[in-house]
Amino acid sequence: MNKPIVIYTDHIMNKTLCYNFAKGSNSLMCHVNNFNEYDKTIATYGVLRGTFEIINKVKNFYYMDHGYFNQSSRKFENKRTNILDMNGYFRIVYNNFIHNGEGNYPDDRLKKLKLNFFDQKKNGDIIILSEPSEAMKKIYNAYNWVNETKKIIKKYSDRKIVVHNKFSPKPLDELLKQAWCFISLQSTAGFNAMVNGIPAYFTEYSLKNINKIEDIENPKINYKIFNNLAYGQWTLKEIETGEAWDFISKRV
């Protein structure tokens, strides 16, 4: 596998992840403003400050973002996301922005996370509709996603729909106590909902295999995907030492 050119920006999160990825994979780095080799494979973190435009132009890319479980601590306020530490996990995905949960990996990495799985809930009054961020609406051309998804849901359920986003005043953990299910475009919060016993549905094409909205009144949780997702996320140290790259590069 050819090593990617690692595209970095001036943002501290991007620079940190990109530097460690480049070190672990022994790859060259290039500032986002200086890159023009669109025939090359790239790696980068996030979709802001020019990285998404480059992703759209290259044929192959490795995408880094926050992990599915045990993420670094964040605080959402004043329409900004503040990173409190970088001790959590980060996902690395090839030619996509999120893993589809498919695979047949062992449970060793999942056990390290020490997640507290709850049994699937058999009741709940509300359907949580997780509104995509502005960046995700742009990426997936999903500017009317909330209204369009509401129409689909109402074909199959008459339960109350509660729209939630990361800046909503009521914490998601509180809403989950009332929830029948969780629906999003591609939010990793859906996987955490499943850990809490709340079935999750996704409308992004590569995640539709996890659950179908048509079956919203007969929900299920596919616990097999958790082993696979645990093998799609890595700590900063695992990225820096090359452990993540050694695993990923052998499977692309």
Tens-digit pLDDT profile for residues 168-198: 999 999 999 999 999 999 999 999 999 999 9
pLDDT tens for each residue of 92-102: 999 999 999 99
Same structural domain, 96 and 134: no
- Residue 147 falls inside a structural domain: yes
Same structural domain, 135 and 186: yes
Give yes or no for residue 77 having a pLDDT over 60: no
Same structural domain, 99 and 9: yes
**What range does the domain containing 236 cover?**
5-111+229-249
- pLDDT at res. 251: 87
Same structural domain, 9 and 104: yes
Same structural domain, 103 and 199: no
Domain count of the fold of the chain? 2
pLDDT tens for each residue of 138-170: 999 999 999 999 999 999 999 999 999 988 999
- Residue 58 falls inside a structural domain: yes
Classify each residue of 152-172 as buried b or exposed e, where b means 16 or more C-beta atoms within 10 Å of its C-beta.
Answer: ebeeeeebebbebeeeeeeeb
Confidence of residue 76 (pLDDT cuts 50, 70, 90): low
Same structural domain, 11 and 103: yes
Task: Give me the percent of the chain exceeding a pLDDT of 90.
Answer: 86
Whole-prediction pTM value?
A: 0.90
- The rounded distance, in Å, linking the Cα atoms of 178 and 226 is 23
- Residue 19 falls inside a structural domain: yes
